[in-house]
Amino acid sequence: MKRSHDRYEVGDEVIDLLVDQLTGHCASTETEYLLHEIITTVVKLGRESQDKGDLKLVNNALKELRYAFKIFAPYRDVKKVIIFGSARSPKTSAEYKMAEEFARKVTEKGNMIVTGGGGGVMEAGNKGSRPGKEFALNIRLPFEQKPNPYINEKEKIINFKYFFTRKLTFMKETDATALFPGGFGTNDEGFEAITLVQTGKSKPRPIVLMEPEGLGYWTAWRRFVRDHLIKNGYADKEDLGLFYVARTVDEAVKFIDDFYRVYHSIRYISGLTAIRLKRKISSGTLKYLNKDFKDILAGGDIRLSSATKEEVKRGEYVELPRLVMKFNCHDYGRLFQLIHAINKD
Do 159 and 289 reside in the same domain of the chain?
A: no
pLDDT tens readout for residues 98-138: 999 999 999 999 999 999 998 999 999 999 999 999 999 99
Q: Is residue 20 part of a domain?
A: yes
How big is the chain, counted in residues? 345
Q: Which residues pair with 304 in a beta bridge?
A: 323
Same domain, 155 and 216: yes
Find, among 303, 289, 273, the residue nearest to 337 by Cα.
289
pLDDT value for 184: 95
Query: Angle at Cα 7 formed by Cα 53 and Cα 11, nearest 5°?
Result: 60
Pair 219, 112 in one domain: yes
CA 62 – CA 57 distance, rounded (Å): 8
Classify residue 90 as exposed, middle or buried by CB count within 10 Å of its CB (0-12, 13-18, 19+).
exposed
Domain coverage including residue 111: 73-259
CB-count exposure of residue 264 (10 Å: 0-12, 13-18, 19+): middle
Q: 20 to each of 36, 156, 193, 217, 339, how far by Cα in Å?
A: 7, 35, 38, 55, 44
Number of domains in the chain: 3
Residue 52 CB-density burial (10 A; 0-12 exposed, 13-18 middle, 19+ buried): exposed
Do residue 86 and residue 220 come from a single domain?
yes
Last residue of a domain, one of 224, 242, 259: 259
Please report whether residue 308 resides in a domain: yes
The CATH number given to whatever domain includes residue 78 is: 3.40.50.450
Sheet holding 303-305, edge to edge: 263-269, 272-277, 322-325, 303-305
The closest alpha carbon to 100, from 119, 80, 128, belongs to 128
- Return d(Cα 136, Cα 112) in angstroms, integer: 11
Is the domain of 140 the same as that of 209?
yes
In the chain, which residues have pLDDT < 70? Answer: 1-5, 143-145
Q: What distance in Å separates the CA atoms of residue 89 and residue 182, rounded to the nearest whole number?
A: 8
Note whether residue 334 is domain-resident.
yes
Per the domain annotation, does 58 fall within a domain? no
Judgement on whether residues 115 and 249 belong to the same structural domain of the protein: yes
* pTM for the full predicted model: 0.92
Q: Find out whether 297 and 327 touch, Cβ atoms under 8 Å.
A: yes
| Domain-located, residue 219 | yes
Q: How is residue 91 annotated by DSSP?
A: T
Same domain (yes/no): 119, 234:
yes
Cβ atoms 240, 226 nearer than 8 A? yes
Pairing of strands 157-160, 176-179: unpaired
Element (H, E) at 172: helix 163-172
- Cα separation of 220 and 314, whole Å? 45
pLDDT at 3: 55
> In the chain, how many H helices and how many E strands?
12, 11
In a domain, 55, yes or no: no
